[in-house]
């Protein structure tokens, strides 16, 4: 018989990078985890196997976050497997760097499909399905404060995420569900390293008062805080960036 008392999470983009750290961190808190992936089933299966080996519960779910039917199916799968959903974490996202003047508009559409529409679609399902006492955690970026050149399209997409996060927190009045966003700073993931030379990486690491890049585990701790004990934090953007901004 399905256990309906344990907490359950669905993490989009949970197969790698920050998402992988998040699913493992939530599993350590005793949360059953749906590990979502977009195209790499093998990486999701690896994450699931690691959680199960450590004594947790997890299952892999595929699908395009921007496809409302695929995401409805993903939520259905997690509910069937674990009895409900208490936590939804949107880590799925893409980044293309280019000056605004030269950005390929097809890349703009791809960024917004995943980062904006994808977050909206998943948040819509979360608003309908997350149980009382639950939490929704979306992902923004500290780039919305730093505003460096070449990040225009990415920053715009994440500013949209912040706005919909704060609106949804107010729309869920009376349901005892918190809605917040985490805004990482420079974090050592494949997405961060993409397109950067070593000098640029070193400069960003030294820019923080802690003089290092963040790790996926650093960001996962912020998510676990918002997903669990942080019941009086709602409608906020938490900047997890080592004091960079």
**48 three-class SS:** helix
149-195 pLDDT, tens per residue? Answer: 999 999 999 999 999 999 999 999 999 999 999 999 989 887 778 77
Average pLDDT along the chain: 94
Q: Are 105 and 28 in contact (CB under 8 A)?
A: no
CA gap 111, 38 in Å, rounded: 15
239 counts as catalytic: no
Phi and psi angles of residue 189, each rounded to the nearest 5 degrees, phi first: -130, 165
Q: What is the pLDDT of residue 4?
A: 41
- At a CB cut-off of 8 Å and minimum separation 6, what does 86 contact? 7, 8, 9, 31, 130, 131, 133, 134, 135
Give me the catalytic one of 37, 151, 154, 239.
Answer: 154
10-34 pLDDT, tens per residue? Answer: 999 999 899 999 999 999 999 999 9
* Percent of the chain residues topping a pLDDT of 90: 84
- Domain topology for 8-187+217-234: Rossmann fold (3.40.50)
């Amino acid at each position: 018989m399905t256990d309906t008392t344990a907490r359950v999470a669905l993490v989009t983009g949970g197969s790698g990078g920050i998402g992988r750290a998040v699913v493992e961190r939530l599993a350590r808190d005793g949360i059953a985890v749906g590990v979502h992936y977009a195209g790499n089933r093998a990486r999701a299966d690896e994450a699931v196997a690691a959680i199960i080996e450590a004594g947790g519960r997890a299952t892999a779910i595929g699908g395009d976050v921007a496809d409302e039917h695929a995401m409805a199916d993903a939520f259905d799968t997690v509910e069937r497997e674990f009895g409900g959903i208490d936590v939804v974490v949107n880590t799925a996202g893409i980044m293309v760097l280019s000056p605004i003047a030269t950005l390929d508009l097809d890349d703009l559409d791809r960024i917004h499909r995943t980062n904006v529409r994808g977050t909206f679609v998943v948040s819509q399902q979360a608003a309908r399905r997350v149980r009382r006492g639950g939490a929704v955690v979306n992902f923004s970026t500290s780039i919305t404060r730093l505003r460096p050149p070449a990040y225009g399209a990415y920053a715009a997409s994440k500013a949209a995420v912040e706005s919909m996060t704060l609106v949804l927190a107010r729309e869920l009045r009376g349901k005892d569900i918190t809605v917040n966003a985490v805004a990482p700073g420079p974090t050592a993931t494949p997405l961060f390293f993409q397109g950067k030379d070593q000098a640029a990486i070193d400069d960003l690491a030294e820019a923080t008062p802690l003089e290092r890049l963040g790790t996926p585990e650093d960001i996962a701790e912020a998510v676990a805080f918002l997903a669990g004990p942080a019941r009086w934090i709602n409608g906020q953007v938490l900047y997890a960036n080592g004091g960079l901004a």
